[in-house]
Amino acid sequence: MSGEPAPRGWTVRWSVRSRILASILLVAAIGLAGAGAATYLFQRARTLDTIDARLISRVEAARTVATQSKATTTSFALESVVKGVIPNENEGSLGIVDGRAAWAPAGNAENNLPLDADPAFVATVVRQTAAGRIWLGTAYLKQGTVRYIAAPITVAGSAQTGIYVDAVNVDGELSTLTTAVSTYAVVAAIALAAIGLVGWFVAGRLLRPIRQLRAAASRITASERNERIPVAGRDDVSDLTATVNDMLDRLDLAMTSQRQLLDDVRHELKTPITIVRGHLELLDASDLADVEATRALAIDELDRMSGLVDDIEALAGSQRANLRVRSTQVADLTADVFAKLSRVAGHDWALAGSAHAQLDLDPDRITQAWLQLADNAAKYSPAGSRIELGSRVIGTFVEFWVQDVGPGIPRESWGRVFERFGRVDTGRGIRGSGLGLPIVAAIAQSHGGRVSLESSDIGSRFGILVPLGVDAELEQEAVTEPIPIESASHLGEQ
Report if residue 285 sits inside a domain.
yes
- 250 in the same domain as 328: no
Edge-to-edge, what's the strand order for the sheet holding 473-474? 326-329, 357-361, 473-474
Q: Which of 302, 330, 314 is nearest to 466 (CA)?
A: 330
| Cα 332 → chain centroid | 48
Report if residue 205 sits inside a domain.
no
- 41 in the same domain as 160: yes
Report if residue 229 sits inside a domain.
no
What does the pLDDT read at residue 389?
93
- Between CA 96 and CA 102 the distance in angstroms is 5
The dihedrals phi and psi of 96, each to the nearest 5 degrees, come to -110, 130
- 112 in the same domain as 49: yes
- Between CA 364 and CA 378 the distance in angstroms is 21
- 487 in the same domain as 338: yes
Q: How far is CA 330 from CA 264, 323, 374, 397, in A?
A: 36, 17, 17, 12
Work out the pLDDT band at 211, boundaries 50, 70, 90.
Answer: confident
Contact 162, 78 (CB under 8 A): yes
- 138 in the same domain as 52: yes
Q: Which domain holds residue 127?
A: 18-177
What does the pLDDT read at residue 492?
36
- 172 in the same domain as 107: yes
- Indicate the length of the chain as a whole number: 494
The secondary structure of residue 459, as a DSSP letter, is: E
Dihedral sign from CA coordinates of 42, 47, 50, 51: negative
Contact 359, 468 (CB under 8 A): yes
| Cα 462 → chain centroid | 45
Q: Which of 163, 164, 157 is nearest to 70 (CA)?
A: 157
Torsion of CA 433, 436, 437, 438, to 10 degrees: 80
Report if residue 302 sits inside a domain.
yes
- 143 in the same domain as 39: yes
- Between CA 421 and CA 428 the distance in angstroms is 15
- 22 in the same domain as 134: yes
Domain end among 155, 177, 199: 177
Domain end among 158, 177, 196: 177
- 352 in the same domain as 306: no
Domain end among 316, 332, 364: 316
Report if residue 399 sits inside a domain.
yes
Degrees, nearest 5: CA angle 120-125-128: 125
- Between CA 202 and CA 472 the distance in angstroms is 50
Report if residue 210 sits inside a domain.
no
Torsion of CA 47, 49, 53, 54, to 10 degrees: 20
Work out the pLDDT band at 466, boundaries 50, 70, 90.
Answer: very high
CATH code assigned at 274: 1.10.287
pLDDT in tens, 15-66: 888 888 899 999 999 999 999 999 999 999 999 999 999 888 888 888 877 7
- 461 in the same domain as 340: yes
- Between CA 447 and CA 432 the distance in angstroms is 25
CATH code assigned at 363: 3.30.565.10
Report if residue 220 sits inside a domain.
no
Contact 43, 177 (CB under 8 A): yes
- 329 in the same domain as 252: no
CATH code assigned at 70: 3.30.450.20
Report if residue 214 sits inside a domain.
no
pTM exceeding the 0.75 threshold for the entire prediction: no
Contact 350, 387 (CB under 8 A): yes
- 48 in the same domain as 150: yes
What does the pLDDT read at residue 415?
54
pLDDT in tens, 215-261: 777 777 656 667 677 776 677 777 877 887 888 888 877 777 777 66
User: Per the structure, how many domains does the chain have?
Assistant: 3
Q: What's the mean pLDDT in 262-268?
A: 66
